[in-house]
Amino acid sequence: MSFLSRLLGTAPDPRENLRPLWHRVIELARDPAYYSDCGVADSVAGRFDMITAVLSVVMVRIEAADLRAESALLAELFVEDMDAQLRQFGVNDVVMGKRIGRLMSVLGGRLGAYRGALNAGDRARLTAAVARNVTFAEDADEARGAALVAEKLMKLSERLARASDAEMLKASAIW
């Protein structure tokens, strides 16, 4: 799609095909079990951590299928959503770019932290990555919580691996 087509709105937005997958990522990240059973902090930080964790699992699966365009479009949906969330918190245009840049950097770091463990099916390594990257509630048993979160993420990864590319992109594989 050309720049002018996107600017003038004459061509369909290619991100729309991935919006159901993005919504499913958010839905999975908001699973109450993460917060009640696993001890993830039910806060802005804890919820962001779970969004990046679930999104990382999905993006690792997309990478495995060599779907570069879809990966980029999913990242764009992440940026769009985070932009809207930051605006709701009152962040203005002057600092928005810098904040979004930091969030993308965090996502990239988390993706890197989770990728190796997910690709290797290494639960211990994934648990260690979760322990470093997820905010837990003050009264939570962080070691137990990290193990529970890692187990849920690994099961999601396994479900996605069994799905076809089309099923995964339509989010039908992770319902």
Q: 113-138: per-residue pLDDT in tens?
A: 999 999 999 999 999 999 999 999 99
Count of beta carbons in the 10 Å neighbourhood of residue 157: 21
Work out the angle at residue 116's Cα, subtended by the Cα atoms of residues 73 and 142, and round it to the nearest 5 degrees: 100
HEC per residue, 100-133: HHHHHHHHHHHHHHHHHHHHHCCHHHHHHHHHHH
**What does the pLDDT read at residue 89?**
59
Query: What's the alpha-carbon Rg for the chain, to the nearest Å?
Result: 17
**What does the pLDDT read at residue 130?**
97
40 has which bridge partners? 136
Contacts of 6 (CB under 8 A, 6+ apart): 13
Q: What is the largest CA-CA distance in the chain?
A: 53
**What does the pLDDT read at residue 169?**
83
**What does the pLDDT read at residue 90?**
59
Count of beta carbons in the 10 Å neighbourhood of residue 42: 15
Closest C-alpha among 168, 64, 49, 63 to residue 110: 49
Regions in the chain scoring below 50 on pLDDT: none
**What does the pLDDT read at residue 166?**
86
* Nearest-angstrom CA–CA distance, 128 and 168: 27
**What does the pLDDT read at residue 137?**
94
**What does the pLDDT read at residue 174?**
60
Contacts of 13 (CB under 8 A, 6+ apart): 6
**What does the pLDDT read at residue 30?**
94
The predicted model scores a pTM of 0.83
